[in-house]
Amino acid sequence: MACFMRMLLVGFASRLHGESYYKALFRGTVEALSGFKGLEVHPSIVTEPSAIDAGGYDLVLAYLLTGGTSKLAYRVLTSAARRPVVILAHSKHNSLASALSLRSRLAEAGVKVKLLYFRDRDDLLEKFTLLYKGVAAGYGLQHLRIVEVNDQPDVSAEGKLFADKFGAEIIHVGYEELWRVAEEAGAGELRELRDAVGRYIDLSGVEEEHLDKVLRVYYALRRLTSTHKANAVVIDCFPLILKYKVTPCLAVAMLNAEGVPTACENDYYSLIPLHASLALTGHPGWVANPSGVTSDGRLRFAHCTIAPSLGRNCFLMPHFESGRGYAVACEYKAGAVLFVRVDRDINGLTVYRGTVVRSGMLEPGYCRTQLVVDTGALKPEEFIENATGNHHVFIPWSEGLTEALKHMAWWLGWRVDFRN
C-alpha cells in the first residue's frame, strides 16, 4: 500500500539579482527534482510578500535563489499553514547567507526546519535523495497499517502506545482467526509457497509434514496482510508456539524478504528500524539478540528469523528454544552493518557500526543464525553496559545511510546517537 508525502517547492528571489538569472536557476532545479514522487512546484517565483497555500502539503521546500530573501521567505512561510520546511541553498548570489538567516528565524518561531546546502546539480541530487529517503521513511512510519497477531481480545498495550505515538492503524487478529485462515491453504498454495522459500533456502532434509504446517502460518500472514491492506506485521509468537506447536520464524523471515516489515515477539520497537531498513536501503533489516562476547573479544548476536534475501547457504532447522519447526539459519552476506535500537520512550535511536567477522549456524547453544561483529573502538562490555534492550536491528551498510537516518530522525523530532 503506497503512501506518498506531498511536497511543495517554492522559489524565492530578489529582483536585484536579475530575473533571467534566477528563473533559469529555478528551472534547472525543477528539472533535477522532477523524478521525486509527490513533488509539486509553486507556479511563480516569489519576489514580494504574497500568500501561498501550503495546507495540503506535508513539507515545504523553500529554495532561496538569491540573497536578500530571508525576511521575504519568513513572512510568506509563517503566514501559510505551518508545515515543516527544508531550505534549499546554493553556493552563489548570497543564497546560503539568506538561508542561514531564514533557518534561525523559523526555528525561533517554532517551525520545524532543516537547511540543505548544495554546490551543483549533482550535489543537489545526491543530498536531496538522502533527505527524501529519510523523510519518506519517517512519513511512512506514521502511515503504517499493521496486522497484530496475539492471543488477547484486542490490540496489545504496546500496539496502542505505538498507534498513539505515530497515528498508525493497527488491526487485531487473534490466534483462532490466524489458524482458520492457515487451514484454508490448499495443496496448490502450499506448493507455491514451498517454491518461493526454495528459491532462497535449501529445503533438503526437512520433514514435509512439519514444513507444510509452517507454510500454513506463512500463507495466513500473507492473506491477512492482503485482506486488511496492511503493510506491516507484528506477531506475539511464543504463546503461538505453545498453543499450536509451530513457529512463525520462517513466515516472519519470508515476509521481511518480500518487503513487509514483520516483527516477532510483539516487538514494536524493532518494527521501526525494520521499516527504516527497507525504506532507506531497499533491504530488510534483521532482528537479533545480543548473545554475549566471543573468546576473541567480539560481540555475538543471534536470532531465528533472518530474511533469507540477506543471507547465503540458508537452511531450516528446529527453533532454538522450542525445538519446533522451523527456524532459519543463514550466513549473513553484508560485510559492514549498522545495528540500531529504538529508545524505550520511542523518542530516539541509538546506532552502532559493525563489521561482520563470521556468521551462520556457528554453535548449537544459540539461536540459529549467529553473527559475530567487530565494533572497533567500542568494547563489547561497554555495549552491554549501556544497551537499553535486547533486540537490535541489523541494517546492511550503504553509502549515505547515516545521513538518511539523521533526516528520518529530524522528521520525527527524535535524537539520534551514533556510539562508535
347 touches 383 (CB < 8 A): no
Residue 81 banded pLDDT, cuts 50, 70, 90: confident
Q: Which residue has the cell 515476509?
A: 255
Q: List 8's β-bridge partners, or say none.
A: 40, 60
Q: List 247's β-bridge partners, or say none.
A: none
Residue 3 banded pLDDT, cuts 50, 70, 90: low
CA dihedral 284, 303, 267, 236 (to 10 degrees): 110
The region of weakest confidence among 55-59, 81-85, 143-147, 247-251 is 81-85
Q: How crowded is residue 98: how many other Cβ atoms within 10 Å of its Cβ?
A: 24
- pLDDT tens, position by position, 186-217: 999 999 999 999 999 999 989 999 999 999 99
Q: Where are the domains of the chain?
A: 7-119, 145-418
- pLDDT tens, position by position, 125-163: 999 999 999 999 999 999 999 999 999 999 999 999 999
Query: Of 340 and 364, which is predicted with more confidence?
Result: 340
Q: List 383's β-bridge partners, or say none.
A: none
Radius of gyration of the chain from Cα atoms? 24
Angle formed by the axes of helices 249-257 and 208-227, nearest 10°? 50
- At residue 320, the pLDDT reads 83
Q: Which CATH architecture has domain 145-418?
A: Alpha-Beta Barrel (3.20)
Q: What cell does 107 get?
A: 526555528
Q: What cell does 111 get?
A: 517551525
Which residues, at least 6 apart from 142, have a Cβ–Cβ distance to it below 8 Å? Answer: 166, 167, 168
CA dihedral 141, 259, 247, 185 (to 10 degrees): 120
Provide, rounded to the nearest whole percent, the portion of the chain with pLDDT above 70.
99
Residue 245 reports pLDDT greater than 80: yes
- pLDDT tens, position by position, 98-134: 999 999 999 999 999 999 999 999 999 999 999 999 9
Residue 403 reports pLDDT greater than 60: yes
The CATH T-level fold of domain 7-119 is Rossmann fold (3.40.50)
